[in-house]
Chains A and B, each alone.
Chain A
Amino acid sequence: MTPDQHAVVARILSARQQEPGALLPILHDIQDQLGYIPETAIADIAFAMNRSKAEIHGVISFYHDFKMSPPAAHELRLCRAEACQSMGSDALAAHVHACTGIDEHGQTADGQLAVRPVYCLGACATSPAMLVDGQLHARVTKEALDAVLQPILNKTTGGAA
């Protein structure tokens, strides 16, 4: 961790560590502020929470949301659950695959775009749905997908990592 990152983690730990069951809020706070949870933060978290590093690792790896490497510049999450499938999300996923080479989950080599599935966004009456950089889109068409995807891809050097 950089000294700055270290200070962020220390601040979050001292603010939260007395709360009952504080580990998930702590991990969320760290990821919100640093974009991911650095490997080297784990020792600090373990020490503050009086738990083993292995335990902290176990918790981080259990949850799909937590990342241990720096995030891509942009993130596209297509809903792959049943309601969105019934409205053509598989075709949207195939289009993303055709444009990026990323199948279900992965990122472009230059770190511009990460693609990650999501299972239901609560938008199932206006399917298909997707999240782009945290922004929810519903009734997504191939054109609407391209309108957000192509500008990101124009910045990339292309190719899946």
Chain B
Amino acid sequence: MSMRYQIFVPCDSIARAVGADQVAAAIVAEAAKRQITVDVVRNSSRGMFWLEPLVEVSTSAGRIGFGPVSVAQVAALFDAGFHTGATTHAACIGEVEAHVYLKSQERLLFARAGKTDPLSLDDYVANGGFAGLQRAVAIGADKTLAEVQASGLRGRGGAAFPAGIKWNTVKEAVADQKYIVCNADEGDSGTFADRMLMEGDPFLLIEGMAIAGLTVGAPEGYIYVRSEYPQAISHLEQAIKTAVAAGFLGSNVAGSGKAFNLHVRKGAGAYICGEETSLLESLEGNRGLVRAKPPLPALQGLFGKPTLVHNVLTLASVPVIADKGGAYYHNFGMGRSRGTMAFQLAGNIKFGGLVEKAFGLTLRELLEGYGGGTANGKPIRAVQVGGPLGAWVPPAHFDMEVDYEAFAAKQAMLGHGGCVVVDDSVDLAKMAQFAMQFCAEESCGKCTPCRIGSTRGVEVIQKIRLNQQRDENVALLEDLCETMLHGSLCALGGMTPFPVLSALRHFPQDFGLGSKEGQS
């Protein structure tokens, strides 16, 4: 009997950006040349991006991994018998799931990452998919809502608002139409978890949105994906078609007798459209100008109707809560931060990737333990957590536990969980200027402190860096930040002061001011 070997090469867009397609093609060609029968499966990524392209081989002892693999190595891999699971090639990392980076994680959201073909409904269902939706249908809307409330889940898009409260508001609202809107605008530098999830496990987001729709009584849903993520859009569109055909979406969702229809919409390159009311304006076909709140989107959202707006990861957390119960989810985490957080290790970091852990580990464990320090071995000087509106955190604070409240106490924010590491060559005054510049470019223009203040901020920081009336300009910068902090309608203007002031506070010498680094 001739042997067939199963080989996995990720189809994640980042794996492809570092050569996965070429590696997959080279494996097929080399196997044909050697008359070896291989089935190449394009799986999702494990999120260990420094190892991409990470090629895996199925064996009776689990999947054996090789990475990062280049086209030039493929012949040598066959010479070493990698396709049989032989572990002698230098690129071999052993059994993938035994890798310390993965084994120590608590993957609820990314449970299937790397294991399945993202577009295979069979793979999804065989690995626990749609169990949450089925249970939600069986127990009904009131009990499903109670599970979400008991889970302690908070929004993963940045503001960390309790999901259960929002769900209840939308559910109680009386209207002829309601909507579920998924915020997949993921514009923050240092974040890629939404992208990974939509590309790698699109059925999970679909399932979470269907549960939300049935629970709050919304028959229509939209996923607003940034235009920079074409593969996420195409995977979602294909998965939606499959889910409709299988009866998990459409007029009778999973036999519930209720409808839920899902649409994908593409953004158009405006960072502000990640802000939920700007996103709703954009979905309605308008300029993405931020709306004043109230009215809350939960009561008057899309087309003026009650709308549940959530981040990708919030909605994707719902199936496990519906399946295993709110208490199961609540058991992970600490304090008022329950469940798991998908941290994204990015920038100048040795082992960049996705780390899903319960809240409560320290930044040091994340950045030094998982991340392995900087890519070039230089000392970590700072980390920006939570995207371009997040604070720069100095190493002196790396021992704090990661939870929403602990971060807030240090004038920092966890946001969407992105961590951008920089080494000691960074100029934090320049980064502060960049933050103001970014705000100026992306401001929706509705309020003066944000629109004008950020442009002034760029000039003032420039003067500080050039040592023009430095002391006066530092005072001016602080005033300007104060005005933006209190006079902005949304967090773009309101939180741009965070990276600016944290840089000034923790790294004054970069602004030409003489006091000690790393003091708070």
* Binding between chains A and B: yes
Chain A residues near B (Cβ < 8 Å): 20-25, 27-28, 49, 58-59, 62-66, 81-87, 118-127, 129, 134, 136-139
Contact with A along B284-313 (1 / 0, CB 8 A): 111110000000000000110000000000
Contact of B195 among A81, A85, A122 (CB under 8 A): A122
Interchain CB contact under 8 A, A136 and B13: yes
B14 in the interface (beta carbon within 8 A): yes
Chain B residues near A (Cβ < 8 Å): 13-14, 16-18, 49-50, 52, 186-192, 194-195, 227-230, 265-271, 282-288, 302-303, 344-349, 352-354, 375, 384, 388, 418, 420-423, 426, 431, 434, 438, 442
* Residues of chain B contacted by A83 (CB below 8 angstroms): 189-190, 346-347, 420
> Chain A nearest CB: distance from B394 CB in Å?
15
Interchain CB contact under 8 A, A82 and B189: yes
Chain A CB within 10 Å — which of B186, B268, B282 has the most? B268
> Chain A nearest CB: distance from B15 CB in Å?
9
* Residues of chain B contacted by A129 (CB below 8 angstroms): 17
Alpha-carbon separation in the docked complex, A119 to B354 (Å): 20
28 contacts between A and B (CB under 8 A): A22-B285, A24-B267, A62-B288, A63-B269, A64-B268, A82-B189, A82-B388, A82-B434, A83-B346, A83-B420, A86-B348, A87-B375, A118-B228, A119-B189, A119-B438, A120-B190, A122-B13, A122-B14, A123-B13, A124-B191, A124-B346, A125-B346, A125-B354, A126-B49, A127-B347, A136-B13, A136-B16, A139-B18
Alpha-carbon separation in the docked complex, A116 to B354 (Å): 29
Known contacts: A63-B269, A120-B188, A122-B186. The answer to whether A87 contacts B347 by CB under 8 A is yes
* Residues of chain A contacted by B50 (CB below 8 angstroms): 125-126
Chain A CB within 10 Å — which of B194, B375, B420, B422 has the most? B420
Interchain CB contact under 8 A, B228 and A21: no
* Residues of chain A contacted by B228 (CB below 8 angstroms): 118, 120-122
Alpha-carbon separation in the docked complex, A63 to B191 (Å): 22
Contact of B421 among A24, A86, A121 (CB under 8 A): A86
User: Please, which residue of chain A has its CB at the minimum distance from the CB of B16?
Assistant: A136
* Residues of chain B contacted by A126 (CB below 8 angstroms): 14, 17-18, 49-50, 52, 352
User: Please, which residue of chain A has its CB at the minimum distance from the CB of B352?
Assistant: A125
Interchain CB contact under 8 A, B192 and A119: no
> Chain B nearest CB: distance from A137 CB in Å?
6
Known contacts: A83-B190, A87-B375. The answer to whether A124 contacts B347 by CB under 8 A is yes
* Residues of chain A contacted by B271 (CB below 8 angstroms): 119
* Residues of chain A contacted by B420 (CB below 8 angstroms): 82-83, 86, 124
> Chain A nearest CB: distance from B425 CB in Å?
9
Interchain CB contact under 8 A, A86 and B423: yes
User: Please, which residue of chain A has its CB at the minimum distance from the CB of B353?
Assistant: A125
Contact of A65 among B14, B227, B431 (CB under 8 A): B227
Alpha-carbon separation in the docked complex, A83 to B227 (Å): 19
Alpha-carbon separation in the docked complex, A74 to B434 (Å): 27
Known contacts: A120-B189, A126-B52, A138-B14. The answer to whether A64 contacts B418 by CB under 8 A is no
Interchain CB contact under 8 A, B52 and A82: no
Alpha-carbon separation in the docked complex, A158 to B345 (Å): 40
* Residues of chain B contacted by A81 (CB below 8 angstroms): 189, 388
* Residues of chain B contacted by A120 (CB below 8 angstroms): 187-191, 228
Chain B CB within 10 Å — which of A65, A118, A121, A125 has the most? A125
